Amino acid sequence: MRGWLIEKSDAGQTNTLTEIDEAGLPEADVTVEVAYSTINYKDGLAFTGKAPVIRKWPMVPGIDGAGTVIESRHKDFKPGDEVILNGWGVGETHWGCLAEKARLNGDWLIRKPTGFSAYQTMAIGTAGYTAMLCVMALEERGVTPEKGPVLVTGSGGGVGGTAIALLSKLGYEVIASTGRADQESYFKSLGASAILDRAELEGDPRPLAKERWAGAVDSVGSKTLVNALSQTKYGGTVAACGLAAGMDLPGSVAPFILRGVTLAGIDSVMAPLSRRRMAWERLDRDLERDKLELLTSVEVPLAKAEEMGQAIIAGKIRGRVVVNVR
């Protein structure tokens, strides 16, 4: 099978698109012929080696995949079933989906939602599914459209862009924080009411600032997340899923203890199956297809996956990238 193989030696990391011996596929109960994959931020980290996301070598990268079951020993799946995979350590500790075949644990798979094509599920990918988890976290903590505007950070990215589309469809006023203020029409087409220059959230945070947001979806972390917390209104919630600017949290407990603000942590990788199914059902219902198309910046062949991984880390990708594996 053709696929990307990331290897490590004393000389460093090498990424090769090569013919991989299928005998090397990991032990698991379902074999999938992969049709599409995608490039998430984490795939970019794997290709560039910028953070240690790969914990087993050699590794086939690709944390997301959509395809058709070709062999199964799992009770819920048979050859011909269309499935999707997001996370579970695939592409980190278990060979992933940037290859023609993947052998996966059936307990990780979900059936492709009927409302989406395989291509569309990868246009959404982990980034879009995580955006949905963030929106669900706000809803579950009582952030309703009447409570006020919702801030989305990292808006030019996959998580941020999908969050804007979802929140606006659900009736929220969305403020998009971005370093691409020159692309206002894109953000407004996704559903943002206004743009905020991301530099405004990058300064040293005060313990409490003027109350602006009923809630926030943050994929940036660091000072941006702390500023979002300090600007969140009494009783609001910030859903934090990312670290595009850093993993640190240089802040104060003031928003929590003086304004009852909630910091909701969002993890997509180990989220239970029931939560994933719920998120994909909600995506099917609430993600407008024309906005998904707008979010999908490019479809590339497998050969371009590494280049796209480097580009996402360099901040050169807007929205989402689909990788056509066939």
| Candidate ranges 70-78, 103-111, 126-134, 276-284; the one touching ligand NDP (CB under 6 A) | 126-134
Nearest distance in Å: CB 183, ligand NDP: 8
Radius of gyration of the chain (CA): 20
Minimum CB distance to ligand NDP smaller for 40 or for 232:
40
| Contact in structure between 124 and 292 (CB atoms under 8 Å) | yes
Shortest distance in whole angstroms from residue 279 CB to ligand NDP = 11
Instruction: Tell me the one-letter amino acid at 57.
Output: W
Minimum distance from residue 127 beta carbon to ligand NDP (Å)? 4
Question: Token digits for 166?
Answer: 């979802």
Residues 28-87 that bind ligand NDP (CB under 6 A): 40-42
Q: How many Cα atoms sit within 13 Å of 180 on the Cβ side? A: 19
Under the binding rule (CB under 6 A), the answer on residue 180 touching ligand NDP is yes
Q: Which is nearer to ligand NDP, 230 or 268 (CB)?
A: 268
Among 191, 242, 251, 255, binds ligand NDP (CB under 6 A): 242
Residue 29: CB minimum distance to ligand NDP, A: 25
Burial class (CB in 10 A: 0-12, 13-18, 19+), 209: middle
Residue from the set 178, 227, 232, 296 that interacts with ligand NDP by CB under 6 A: 178
Give the Cβ contact number of residue 163 at 10 Å: 36
Count other Cβ atoms within 10 Å, centred on residue 208: 16
How many chain residues are in contact with ligand NDP, going by CB under 6 A?
32
In this structure, what is the dihedral angle of CA atoms 164, 169, 171, 174, given to the nearest 10 degrees?
Answer: 10
Q: Residue type at 276?
A: R
The answer to the question of residue 98 lying near ligand NDP (CB under 6 A) is no
**How far from the centroid of its chain's Cα atoms is residue 196's Cα?**
22
Buried b (16+ CB within 10 A) or exposed e, 45-78: bbbbeeeebbeeeebbbbbbbbbebeebebeebe
User: Could you identify the residue written with the tokens 């020159």?
Assistant: 182
Among 31, 120, 155, 168, binds ligand NDP (CB under 6 A): 155
Per CB under 6 A, 312 contacts ligand NDP? yes
Closest CA relative to residue 225, chosen from 209, 191, 207, 202: 202
- Using the rule CB under 6 A, is 214 a contact of ligand NDP? no
Counting contacts by CB under 6 A, is residue 152 touching ligand NDP?
no
Applying CB under 6 A, among 113, 158, 215, 251 the residue interacting with ligand NDP is 158
255 lies in the site for ligand NDP, by CB under 6 A:
no
What's the closest the beta carbon of residue 75 comes to ligand NDP, in angstroms?
28
CA 61 to chain centre: 15
Instruction: For residue 156, state whether it binds ligand NDP (rule: CB under 6 A).
Output: yes
Minimum CB separation of residue 81 from ligand NDP in Å reads 25
Min separation Cβ 257 and ligand NDP, Å: 25
Rounded CA gap, 160 and 106, in Å? 30
| Residue 179 near ligand NDP by CB under 6 A | yes
Cβ distance to ligand NDP smaller for residue 242 or 255:
242
Parallel, antiparallel, or unpaired: how do β-strands 213-218 and 232-240 relate? parallel
Q: Which residues bind ligand NDP (CB under 6 A)?
A: 40-42, 126-127, 130, 154-160, 178-180, 198, 219-220, 224, 241-245, 266-269, 312, 315, 317
